[in-house]
Structures are given as C-alpha cells and as structure tokens.
Amino acid sequence: MALTALICDDSLLARNQLKKSLPSVFDADIITASNGVEALSILRAREVGLVFLDLTMPELDGVGVLEAIKADAMDCLVIVVSADIQPEMQKRVMELGALAFVQKPATADKLADVMHKYGLI
C-alpha cells in the first residue's frame, strides 16, 4: 500500500508548488491541509507517513503541530518547509523532532535532495 503524505500550508500556491515539485519516483497518496488544526485532525484520524509542514499559518502554526505530534507520540516523519529561515527557528523545529528543514520556495531539487538523504525515495 502506498504511503500517505500530507502537505500542510495555508497558501494554495505553496501547496500546489510543493505537490508539483515532489519527485516523480515518490509513490504516495497526497492529501492537503490549509492550517495546523486541520492537519492535526487528519493526523489523528488516519495513518500519515510523511508531513510537509509550513510554519507561519493561521489557526495553529507549524510549531504547534510539531508540539502536538511530539506530545501524542504520533508515528509520522515531518519535513518543515518554511519561509522563516532564522537559525533559531530551524534549531527549534529540529529539537521538536522534525526530520529536515527546507527553505521556501520548495523546488524540485531541494525536495529530491532532502528526500533522498533520508531514504524516502
């Protein structure tokens, strides 16, 4: 059965950009959420193997999502895809258990690199 991957970003452009930039060899069902609250309700309802997570979002931001994933010990990998590129923020999300940090805009090259590095493709 194919892996389910969740793209969580408040911007439609960013979601589409990411979806389209995913490596073609990445065999997964792609679903989307437009804020952190939506993402968490999906994560609690079904099995998701990989999350592409934006940080600055309304309702609940990416840090909040990471905290909830950690608190509930959910079994999913998280790649943060964000415009907030301050070293302090990168450190914070890595400490919260993110697998990797990708600077926006998420290009096909950047995604392929990081996914290859962690054996996702």
User: Which residues are bridge partners to 102 per DSSP?
Assistant: 81
Output 99 or 104, the one with its CB closest to another protein. Answer: 104
Packing angle, helices 87-95 and 62-71, rounded to 10: 20
Q: How far is the CB of 90 from another protein (least distance, A)?
A: 10
Output 61 or 120, the one with its CB closest to another protein. Answer: 61
Phi and psi of 79, rounded to 5°?
Answer: -105, 115
CA distance 38 to 32: 9
Q: How far is the CB of 12 from another protein (least distance, A)?
A: 5
Q: How far is the CB of 102 from another protein (least distance, A)?
A: 12
**CA nearest to 21, candidates 97, 106, 94, 102:** 106
Q: How far is the CB of 73 from another protein (least distance, A)?
A: 27
Output 3 or 89, the one with its CB closest to another protein. Answer: 89
Interface residue list for another protein (CB under 8 A):
10-14, 16-17, 20, 55-58, 82-86, 88-89, 104-105
Burial class (CB in 10 A: 0-12, 13-18, 19+), 41: exposed
Output 4 or 11, the one with its CB closest to another protein. Answer: 11
